[in-house]
Amino acid sequence: MKTHRDIILESINEGVFTVDLDWRITSFNRAAVKITGVPVEKALGCYCWDVFHANICESDCTLRRTMDSGQPSVITNAHIVHHSGRKVPIRISAAVLHNDSGNIVGGVETFQDLSQVEQLQKELKSHYNFADMVGQSPAMRQVFSLLPRLANTDSTVLIEGPSGTGKELVARAIHSLSPRSDKPLVVVNCAALPDTLLESELFGHKAGAFTDARRDRVGRFTRAHEGTIFLDEIGDISPALQVRLLRFLEDRVVEPLGANEPQPVDVRVVAATNKELKEEVKSGRFREDLYYRIRVIHIRLPSLKERKGDLLLLIDHIIDKLNHLQNREIAGVSPEAMACLMEHDYPGNVRELENILEQGMVLCPGNIIKPRHLPPELRPQAQAGLADMGSTSLKDMEKVLIMHALERHKGSRKSAARDLGIDVSTLYRKIKSLGLEVPKGDQEGGD
């Protein structure tokens, strides 16, 4: 006959199981059966790790930490292996079991199936993802909407933005979306070579054109025939090379060093720079006529500091990518580590964020990146209240991000929205839907 406790356990939607001090399962409710695919009779009496095969069983078992400390655990994300062999994302909490005398006799763990939540998050990301670029800020959505249209033209494109913002990703997206996608994409870093070598790389040379030219060399423009050439860091080329590049853009022919006859080339040019070329023109370091030749279509990529609202999506995306490359199963970052990541200004932009998370994954023995796994400069004292957060859900992190922005700007919703990279009206809706209380101060901020 079922006890009152058994009836309660069978009626809840979360999986629940208990273990004794030998780590053998002593109870296993109906939801646990559904989530794991393991029948009750097969689970009872087994070691818990033989039933769940979770990615944290060996390195960072939530229930073991709870049993060792005697304190209930905070919520942890993990993956278990369903009886059919598929991975199931779950969220775990655990507590110790005491007898009437107050002695520990075992432990209890509850777990929730996050499969639907994970699927919804993937669908959400797909709306704000383009190739390997991720973002939901207005600036990034504008870039995403522009790419398919400009890809179908042959117009020259200039991409401006700080280092590490993904200029080469944009160039690759333009090429892959264009009718030239089955032809070569040739990438040239104009800052990596001295001027004399760069000219030979771009235009080629004939044997004997100079001392070391022992054989003909095909230039990058010729290699990119019928395809796309990406001239990265074009703001660093010399005045002499600017003249040759201008002539090419006007005539679309190349004349290798030492050659007598020019060769027509059909190539689409995409250029990028981390400099403000307009300022370079004003200072006389960059030709004005060349500037307008390459700036037929202009794309500006914002720094990560300007699009902090994309940080959560970027972190999830980068961790997913690194999990695949490194064969890891990192579930995410702790609330305290997320607070550290949110406070950083990222002078190296998305590339710096990738490096930070890669270091975190290397140093993390479990499946949650914590502050101690981050570089020392990213470990300021977490803000009061964050240590009590038990969930790393997108909604909880969104609350933290919005509150931090509001606090930084003394309650000004206009300034906070600009910092987050969202419209003021969107921020108002989020404040209302998340039930947030705006910090006292200049709450209207001139809105």
Contacting residues for 296 by C-beta, under 8 A, at least 6 apart: 155, 156, 157, 158
Q: Are residues 331 and 290 in the same domain?
A: no
Q: Are residues 263 and 196 in the same domain?
A: yes
Q: Tell me the residue ranges of DSSP E strands in 278-357.
A: 297-300, 332-333
**pLDDT score of 442:** 47
Count Cβ atoms below 10 Å from residue 349 Cβ, excluding itself.
23
Residue 211: pLDDT above 90?
no
User: Is 381 part of a structural domain of the chain?
Assistant: yes
Q: Are residues 56 and 155 in the same domain?
A: no
Q: Are residues 28 and 91 in the same domain?
A: yes
Count Cβ atoms below 10 Å from residue 152 Cβ, excluding itself.
11
Q: Are residues 169 and 291 in the same domain?
A: yes
**Domain limit, last residue, from 300, 324, 357:** 300
Structural domain for 378, as ranges? 311-433
* One-letter identity of residue 364: C
User: Is 132 part of a structural domain of the chain?
Assistant: no
At 261, which CATH number? 3.40.50.300
User: Is 447 part of a structural domain of the chain?
Assistant: no
User: Is 55 part of a structural domain of the chain?
Assistant: yes
Q: Are residues 419 and 279 in the same domain?
A: no
User: Is 193 part of a structural domain of the chain?
Assistant: yes
Using left for φ > 0, alpha for ψ between -120 and 50, and beta otherwise, residue 93 falls in beta
Ranges 104-118, 221-235, 311-325, 372-386, most confident: 221-235
Contacting residues for 101 by C-beta, under 8 A, at least 6 apart: none
**Domain limit, last residue, from 250, 266, 300:** 300
**Domain limit, last residue, from 275, 300, 325:** 300
- Total domains present in the chain: 3
Q: What residues does 94 pair with on adjacent strands? A: 109
Q: Determine contact, residues 55/329, Cβ cutoff 8 Å.
A: yes
pLDDT tens digit string along 217-268? 888 999 999 999 999 999 999 999 999 999 999 999 998 876 778 889 999 9
Q: Give the DSSP H or E segment for 102.
A: none
At 83, which CATH number? 3.30.450.20
Q: Are residues 109 and 157 in the same domain?
A: no
At 394, which CATH number? 1.10.8.60
| Averaged pLDDT, 202-229 | 80
Name the token pair of 247: 């002539």
Q: Are residues 259 and 373 in the same domain?
A: no
Q: What residues does 264 pair with on adjacent strands? A: 253
Cα-based distances in Å from 309 to 120, 158, 394, 439? 19, 25, 12, 19
Nearest to 322 by CA among 309, 331, 310, 335: 331
pLDDT tens digit string along 333-357? 888 888 889 889 999 999 999 999 9
Q: Are residues 274 and 183 in the same domain?
A: yes
Angstrom distance (rounded) from CA 65 to CA 78: 15
User: Is 17 part of a structural domain of the chain?
Assistant: yes
Q: Are residues 320 and 416 in the same domain?
A: yes
Q: Are residues 61 and 94 in the same domain?
A: yes
Q: Are residues 410 and 329 in the same domain?
A: yes
pLDDT tens digit string along 4-35? 666 777 777 889 999 999 999 999 999 999 99
